């Protein structure tokens, strides 16, 4: 579980992730600090020294890993027609930017402060909605994201919900403003 909560957004790189793994291991063990376990964490991470392998082993599909590695659609859109920031119950936050013409989404990008799950879900969502009508997008749910990705860890299903909720709120906000 810990592994999937420490993946950062952005370009931290493997070395930074290694440091984070060790930091998280130490923090996680605060109070029951056991150097042997910390050492084991370090060994485990050295063995699985490839983020791709870690994600796959955690249950992310090849497509999800590819999206995460390539930061698909991560970014901002200047002067978007719709924009919304939403923080889920877990504390992760997503910001969605949409370009909309004649009720069709013509471009979609996102930023997030969150885990690998939120990034893969954000990439999947923005890919899925590009070129689609608002009516179509309003009907999407987290299962559609999971179907699109193929698989992601069970405990990360709520990350797909974060992306869907951000989309729904962005559309609602856009419609409210446009009437």
- Contact residues toward ligand FES (CB under 6 A) are 88, 90, 92, 114-115, 117-118, 156, 158-159, 162
Ranked by CB distance to ligand FES, the top (closest) residue is 90
CB 162, min distance to ligand FES, A: 4
Closest CA to 125 of 88, 70, 74: 74
In sequence order, which residues have a C-beta less than 8 Å from that of residue 99 and are 6 or more positions away? 77, 80, 81, 105, 106, 107, 108
Distance separating alpha carbons of residues 39 and 7, to the nearest angstrom:
20
Considering beta carbons, is residue 63 or 100 the nearer one to ligand FES? 63
Considering beta carbons, is residue 73 or 118 the nearer one to ligand FES? 118
Contact 160, 118 (CB under 8 A): no
Considering beta carbons, is residue 92 or 174 the nearer one to ligand FES? 92
Considering beta carbons, is residue 72 or 159 the nearer one to ligand FES? 159
Distance separating alpha carbons of residues 128 and 122, to the nearest angstrom:
10
CB 176, min distance to ligand FES, A: 25
């Amino acid at each position: 579980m810990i592994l999937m909560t420490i993946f950062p957004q952005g370009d931290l790189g493997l070395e930074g992730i290694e440091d984070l793994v060790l930091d998280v291991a130490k923090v996680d063990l605060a109070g029951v600090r056991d150097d042997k376990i910390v050492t084991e964490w370090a060994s485990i991470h050295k063995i699985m020294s490839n983020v791709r392998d870690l994600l796959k082993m955690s249950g992310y599909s090849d497509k999800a890993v590819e999206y995460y590695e390539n930061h698909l659609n991560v970014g901002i859109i200047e002067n978007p027609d719709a924009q919304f920031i939403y923080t889920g119950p877990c504390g992760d936050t997503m910001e969605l930017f949409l370009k909309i013409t004649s009720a069709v989404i013509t471009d979609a990008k996102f930023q997030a402060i969150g885990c690998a799950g939120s990034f893969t879900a954000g990439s999947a969502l923005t890919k899925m909605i590009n070129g689609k009508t608002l009516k179509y997008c309003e009907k999407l749910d987290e299962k559609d994201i999971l179907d699109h990705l193929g698989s992601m860890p069970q405990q990360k299903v709520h990350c797909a919900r974060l992306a869907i909720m951000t989309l729904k709120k962005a559309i609602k906000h856009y419609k409210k403003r446009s009437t």
